[in-house]
Amino acid sequence: MSDESIARAADLLRGGGLVAFPTETVYGLGGDACNAAAVASIFAAKGRPAFNPLISHVASASEAFALGIETPAARRLADAFWPGPMTLILQRAPNCPIASLTSAGLDRIALRVPAHEGARRLLQQFGGPVAAPSANPSGRISPSRAAHVMAGLGGAIDMVLDGGPCSSGVESTVVDTSGTQAVILRPGGVTRDAIARCLAAGGLSLMPATQDGPGKDRPVSPGQLESHYAPHARLKMNVTAIEDDMELIGFGPIAGAGRLQLNLSESGNDSQAAANLFDMLHAADGTGAGVIGVAPVPDNGLGEAINDRLRRAAAPRG
Ligand code: TXA
Ligand code: MG
């Protein structure tokens, strides 16, 4: 990504325009987080339900803690995992300039410092928070390449910064650190284990997985809609042998089958599988098969986030 293209992208953002940019997780569809009109056009471009709040991306933890109120858990996790694939939910700071539409009217905001070099340069140039959901039409597979963004949203945005394929693949882990106990709202690129260990080492606690699903008194991440990440084909999980009209995506010893013979990771590595996930779903969907099968992926490490995305892609469509 040239200095020139980054400068042009920052200018477009200043003017209220929309710029898709790479992060280490997926491509984001960025707009000025403090400009409600720009944020409204993000929702419009994605066709996204307006109640679903957006993550604001900033260049450093100090910028994040000027926008949201720091807590001990937030500080600890920020020190350990920023820049990187982790989003913290914090109480809005007094006079926080982020548009209320960005947080869908909630008094808590989502903040992330991405690690991708190009994203960091863009955020530094722009100098303020950039609201960005994944750059895909609402409910569809997340984009891990500039070409996916163009295919899904090309007509609706001002510019796509092409930084090549994303390295990490699944989106950031969303952790609510606004209260006394941290809660994982969405599994993602930083594993539950790593977060739990980091907090425990500081005498802080994480709500156990068994309790953190949506519930009566629990914080809910509005983005966790059941049917999400959906390809055009039907998706079937835990498939061990190819079936009729199917493109089978393998994992480990279960080989891919069909036209493309895809395998998330022949060695059964969870990071490699995460990095390949959206790419392979896009490719399998592109074959026109009626069903995409995916071999079983164990739940350990990034497997939790991978299976979360696959379950949503497989959920009945509303
Ligand atoms: O890796 C990522 O997180 C990518 C890249 C572009 O940064 N972004 C992304 O954004 O996945 P999006 O909009 O697709 O998902 C944001 C998630 C949703 O589940 C949303 O509900 C949750 O973050 N979220 C955002 N603001 C929130 C808030 N104030 N309270 C609770 N959850 C929030
Ligand atoms: Mg998304």
Each residue's pLDDT tens digit, 162-207: 999 998 878 999 999 999 899 999 999 999 999 999 999 999 999 9
pTM for the model: 0.84
**What pLDDT was estimated at residue 214?**
47
Averaged pLDDT for residues 88-116: 93
pLDDT higher than threshold 50 for residue 216: no
231-243 residue pLDDT tens: 899 999 999 999 9
Asked if 176 and 185 touch (Cβ cutoff 8 Å), the reply is yes
**What pLDDT was estimated at residue 50?**
56
Partnered with residue 180 across adjacent β-strands are: none
Residue nearest to atom 33 of ligand 1 (CA): 221
Averaged pLDDT for residues 109-116: 98
Ligand 1 centroid to residue 109 C-alpha, Å: 10
Half-sphere exposure (CA, 13 Å, Cβ side) for 98? 35
Portion of the chain with pLDDT greater than 70, in percent: 92
Strands (E), 48-171: 55-57, 86-91, 108-112, 130-131, 159-160
Q: How far is CA 138 from the centre of its chain?
A: 13
Of 48-62, 71-85, 153-167, 214-228, the one with minimum mean pLDDT is: 214-228
CA dihedral 56, 105, 157, 174 (to 10 degrees): 40
Provide the residue type at 286 as one letter: G
Partnered with residue 31 across adjacent β-strands are: 131
Pocket test for ligand 1, best of 89, 123, 174, 306 (most atoms within 8 A of CB): 174
Cis peptide before 83 (omega within 30 of 0): yes
Asked if 313 and 235 touch (Cβ cutoff 8 Å), the reply is yes
